Structure 1
Amino acid sequence: MPTRNALALKNRNTMLQVSTLMKREAVPVLSKGSNLGQNELGGFLRQVVPGIIGRYGNLNAVTAADYYDTTRELFANSTKVYKATLPIFDLGAKTDAVVNYGMATFMDQGFDTIPDILSNAMTLYVSQYNRETMDFNAGQDSVTKTVQRVAEPGACAFCALMAFSSTSAAEGNLIGTRTYSYEPDFHANCHCTTEVVFEGEAPIVPDYYATFAQEYDEAQGGTAKEVLAKMRANTGRA
């Protein structure tokens, strides 16, 4: 039987593969706007961006639903039946964010960097489909406590802080949990995984999280080591 972390890594790796495929399509498509003026470029982006985000985003959403169902079937201590469904995605908001970023870039730098910059930015919005699907189903499923962000060893300082914060606990309860409604907590091509915490389970606290304490300590006023010690004492994790 696969471990939960292995399933989470498979989901994460699929997201990264989808992002790679998306960028391969997006760069040459976006490059077709090279000779357009400001007004025409805005219209062009609004024409091509939604289709790319929606198509690859839906791949990520279906992947997330399968990942959620598999994890629940293997690890949830429950006889209650649940089948993951897809939420309604706000493609318009995602499109607006990309187009506005593209136009700001155009005004500041011209067109040359737009294909690379926008295709990279679009990976964030394509990945949102996966994270939003996880968060939506966690909220609908009565046996799920939360979806937890887990950073890998050697994660960037931003991811280390956000992931460490998402596991903060007091008396065995999650506090300050960040879920996937908080998309600014993620960056393009993020390597953090998402793992489901079911009712009655302890938060996920990998041993290497001790190395994240310094960043958390600096941001939270000297409480990181105390929080980590309490988390491990209350959850029974060494």
Structure 2
Amino acid sequence: MAIMHSTVLVVDDDPHIRDLLTFALQKAGLATREAADGEAALADIALFVPSLVVLDINMPRMDGIETCRRIRAQSDLPVLFLSSRDDEIDRILGMELGADDYVTKPFSPREVVARIAAILRRISRNPTPPPTPAQFAYGGLGLDADGWRATWRNVEVPLTVTEFSIVRTLAAAPHRVFTRDAIIDRVHGPGFAMTDRTIDSHVRNLRAKFALLGGADVIETRAGLGYQLGPCLGAPGTSHG
């Protein structure tokens, strides 16, 4: 299987946890590397490009949130977060940054290995779908897929990673209606635990952000079906500045 040729980078400032996970991963047939903080992790990723990163949130020098943000600015490398507390804010922020999964300490090494294997299998079965071209323009909407930037009539719209991923998914097939499940599959992969209500919330936030600049018609709702890219021509009576 593809996962047997994968390398996992374990990033945690606690050497005991690194040893624990490294042993469990190697026992499962996965190659491993280690880093004690975010700066060391980024340097290792630049040189060796692992298949997945296990990333502790609470670390000195550079925490896991900032490390993930920098990883996401460069690639879609899978990330599994570790946290020392079951904090809903951490969980939400981690997923907004594009984390693939989240485990709270104390944890079972076998559970972490199982979750890592599930992510790697999902990636091998579902390679990243061809999204939009690197530069995409449709009406007033502009997307820079490499820079993760969205614009409305050349004005940048500040989006979270998940919000940008939803727009990019819809823009990949402007005339297709995407069900909420299809959007979740494209953004996070099949089997990811996200509710329809969460997708609706992201879409509301997206519409509000674009509407501030006059782009209230970027996303259309198809009753009983899902969402699709709107005409992106600008709604009358809204600001264009």
Structure number with the bigger relative contact order (C-alpha 8 A, sep ≥ 6) is 1
TM-score under structure 1 length normalisation:
0.30
Greater helix fraction, Structure 1 or Structure 2: 1
Task: Write 1 or 2 for the structure with the bigger share of strand.
Answer: 2
Normalised by the length of structure 2, the TM-score is: 0.30
